[in-house]
Amino acid sequence: MRTRHGLLALLLALPICANAWVLPYAKPAGKYPSATTGDSAAWTSNLSSWWNTWKNSYITSSGDPHDPSGYTVPAIQGNVSEGVGYAMLFSVLMNDSATFRKVWFNAERYYWLQQDGVPLGWYSWCKNSSCGNSKSSDSAAATDGDEDIGLALVYATALAKMGYWPNYTYVGTHRTPMGGSTIDTVTLEQKAIHVVKSIGKFMISAGAYPKPNYVLPNSATYPMKNGSGNYIMLLNPSYFAPGWYRIFDDFSTYEGVSSTSWDKVIATSYSTIANQHGASSGMIQDWSLETGDNIPTNLGFGVSSSGNGAWMWWDAIRAPWRLGMDAIWNASSDAYAYCKKPWNSSVDGLGSSASNPGMYNNLTGTPSNPGNYSPAIGPHAMWAVAALGGSLSGDANSKAASAKLGATVKNESMTSNKYFDDALHLMGGLAISGNFPNIWNDLRKSFPDTSAKLTMALKASKSQATSLSKDTVTFTATFDKATVCTLWIRGNTSGAYMRFTISSATTKFSQKWNAGARNSGTFAGTGAETITAVLKWPRTSQPTASDTTTLTLCPTTGSCSSVGVSSQPADHPYLHRSADGSMKIHQPWFDAAGSVRVQLRNAAGIALYQNSIRSEAGVVQVPSLSLAPGWYVVETEFSGNRAVQTFTMSR
């Protein structure tokens, strides 16, 4: 959400040539060409450099995007959902799952506001309890931030379904809008569903207009009343994202959840833009009424520097990118019509020469001067996307503008101190080099069948005692149909692990492991170590199903008396209660360090203890508890898996 400056930008790809490709799947032939020719290596180098600069300059070690320049409302230093959306989208497009996880988990903890008892909610537009000088409280959502976060979550869900990315699960605190907090567990796919449904529920007015934000009753001035006392809706057209809405529509259909009428939202968005002053030249204003008309000055709504929002300034400069993406992804006739206008108009600064297009005063074509915040690289990148969109329709002027602006953006450099301008630059570079694909659409038809069931349990086979250094173990299992599996092998003493992702066209799962090979850590070598192998696969009835087996690794071949292979139920953790009242809980599917939700209840079902505890080496340590004699239940939940263990206190 922006009031005195622009939001971020996302851009897309267009015509001609081989281009840099950072995502892990094969790009559909000819679908995402580059705006400039013969420069794949240059784009690869630029995108990597720009992403590293943006990540290192604007994302803290805890995963919080920020603005060191202070251009964003100084009191909050750019800790806004807008930046969260940009960071998550960049992470997906640059195939950086670790950064995605860090930013998403931070957003869940500090930004997400969840309704009591309902998983739906929204991301607060700013992190701090006091959001600077904004008219909105920190209970307000910025629609554009949630849209970009939602798209990033849908994309990450698609990558996880194909086994390209980890299927992350957040376990931790969520805030509620009226105060308080709750411990929750949510998978990538579940959160994507929540966000898409929430946008439709809270941020679409009259089922048609993307509102500037969602605000709790009486907490801000949206919507406003006109002179006659009738409510009017103030809109920020740079939030209109038709390409996003088409993806949300298909995602909702795939998930089988109730959905907004996204076709209606798309139609009204284009109608509002078409009715704006300056629309014939491809210009869009920062703020308007839902009709597209200027905001009456007597409302006292001071945005940009115009008093009524009728400039194409730091908000509206993102519109060419959002509409251009609809042209590139969907060949939308409405998007084509818009994207051609700037390069076929007589407005000074635009036209077929594409001579340094920027931001404009009063939509007359007079370049604006936004103080000392240079309007250079960000606006160039935004206009480049529109030019690419127009060129897809075969428009000659758009093609000329696309080639010129594409070369301009490629040769510009990051500022490294102005997160918003640099964000627009990187997003534009990704788009015009062919590296901002419609990931959901590309992968949707290839998703694995998630209804497979295990018909023969996971087993580990070896003819002799298993050695740390030499022997090979073969893990097998059988399903009723082909599926995608993940096999984790974890050392219970060392915490070392090995992970395999297997996408098999047959029903039989088989994976050979050279004992001791690992992704992380070093398996214990001074004595026998018990290894837990966990086979995971997606199921429609639950986030993840799993099956486990254990074996023993020996320092040298023959130093163990038996292979040590045994079966262990996936829902039966090992619980040890110490004399001081503390407990250690071990569960095979604690396969990586992370937060485990632990709840202890008495025989009456009353919760006596509840917390999220970090697991280490497959073990969760519960602090000392003073418990009276009786029967108790311990429930653990981690990464979509839940298990129950009972015990009795006799004294």
User: What are the pLDDT digits (tens) for 104-145?
Assistant: 999 999 899 887 667 888 998 888 554 544 434 456 788 999
DSSP β-bridge partners for residue 224: 232
DSSP strand E in 158-287: where?
Answer: 169-175, 181-187, 204-205, 209-210, 213-214, 224-225, 231-232, 234-235
pLDDT of residue 603: 67
Q: Is the model's pLDDT at 362 over the cut of 60?
A: yes
Residue 120 near residue 195, CB atoms below 8 Å: no
Task: Concatenate the DSSP letters of all residues of 86-129 into one string.
Answer: HHHHHHHHTT-HHHHHHHHHHHHHHTEEE-TT-S-EEEBSBSSS
Q: Which of 17, 59, 25 is nearest to 41 (CA)?
A: 17
242-279: pLDDT as tens digits:
999 999 999 998 888 877 899 999 999 999 999 998 88
Q: What was the pLDDT predicted at 564?
A: 33
Rounded to whole angstroms, the Cα distance separating 347 from 352 reads 10
Chain segment 165-192, per-residue pLDDT in tens: 988 989 888 887 766 777 788 889 999 9
Between CA 93 and CA 99 the distance in angstroms is 11
Q: Are 327 and 264 in contact (CB under 8 A)?
A: no
CA nearest neighbour of 125 among 257, 266, 3, 235: 3
Question: How far does CA 313 lie from the centroid of its chain?
Answer: 27
Burial 107-118 (b: 16+ CB within 10 A, else e): bbbbbbbbeeee
For 197-251, how does the pLDDT look when each residue is reduced to its tens digit (9 = 90+)? 999 988 888 888 898 766 544 334 445 555 555 566 788 999 999 999 999 999 9
| Residue with token string 């939700």 | 597
Q: How far apart are CA 391 and CA 327, in angstroms?
A: 10
Q: What is the pLDDT of residue 506?
A: 72
The DSSP annotation for 47-78 comes to HHHHHHHHHHHHB-TTS-B--TT--S-GGGTT
**C-alpha span between 439 and 151 (Å, rounded):** 10
Q: What does pLDDT average to over the chain?
A: 79
Q: How far apart are CA 211 and CA 286, in angstroms?
A: 13
The pTM score is: 0.70
- What is the identity of the amino acid at 536? K
Which residues, including other chains, have CB under 8 Å from residue 203's CB and lie 6 or more apart?
122, 141, 143, 146, 210, 211, 213, 214
Alpha helices (H) in 240-357, listed in sequence order: 242-255, 262-274, 319-330, 333-340
> Per-residue pLDDT for 96 more than 70?
yes
- For the chain, which residues make up each domain, given as ranges? 40-442, 454-568, 574-649
Q: How many CB atoms lie within 10 A of CB 249?
A: 19
15-56: pLDDT as tens digits: 333 345 789 999 898 898 788 876 778 888 899 999 999 999
What's residue 577's pLDDT?
67
Least confident span in 273-277, 504-508, 541-545:
541-545
Output the DSSP codes for 519-588: SBS----SS-EEEEEEEEE--SSSS-EEEEEEEEEESSTT-SSS---EEE-TT--EEEE-TTS-EEEE-T
Nearest to 11 by CA among 409, 398, 322, 357: 322
The separation between the first and the last C-alpha atoms of the chain, rounded to the nearest angstrom, is 58
Minimal CA–CA distance to 5: which of 55, 51, 67, 56?
67
Token digits of residue 510: 């088989």
Share of the chain above pLDDT 70, in %: 73
Top CATH class of 40-442 equals mainly alpha
Q: What is the pLDDT of residues 633-649, one digit of tens each?
A: 777 777 656 666 666 66
Q: Are 454-568 and 574-649 equal in CATH topology?
A: yes
Residues making up the chain, counted from first to last: 651
Closest CA to 426 of 410, 437, 404, 405: 410
Spatial strand order of the sheet with 583-586 comes to 574-577, 583-586, 619-622
**The pLDDT of residue 97:** 95
Distance in angstroms (rounded) separating the CA atoms of residues 428 and 55: 16
Please give the pLDDT value at position 333: 96
Give whole-number Cα distances, 164 to 97, 167, 229, in Å: 10, 9, 54
Rg (CA), the chain: 27
Residue 300 has a CB neighbour count (10 Å cut-off) of 11
CA 644/CA 650 separation, integer angstroms: 20
- Confidence at residue 648, expressed as pLDDT on a 0 to 100 scale: 63
pLDDT confidence band for 388 (50 / 70 / 90): very high
Backbone angles phi, psi at 565, to 5 degrees: -85, 130
Torsion of CA 34, 89, 325, 212, to 10 degrees: -150
Question: What pLDDT is stored for residue 10 in this prediction?
Answer: 26
Right CATH number for 454-568 from 1.10.1060.10, 2.60.40.1940, 1.20.1050.10, 2.40.100.20?
2.60.40.1940
648 - beta bridge partners? 631
Q: What is the C-alpha to C-alpha distance for residues 262 and 241, in angstroms, rounded to an integer?
A: 11
Contacts of 325 (CB under 8 A, 6+ apart): 10, 11, 12, 241, 243, 244, 385, 389, 431, 436
- What is the pLDDT at residue 644? 67
| Alpha-carbon gap, residue 382 to 4, rounded angstroms | 18
What are the structure tokens assigned to 17, written together? 């040539």
Superfamily of domain 574-649 in CATH is: Macroglobulin (MG2) domain (2.60.40.1930)
For residue 428, the surrounding DSSP H or E stretch is: helix 419-432
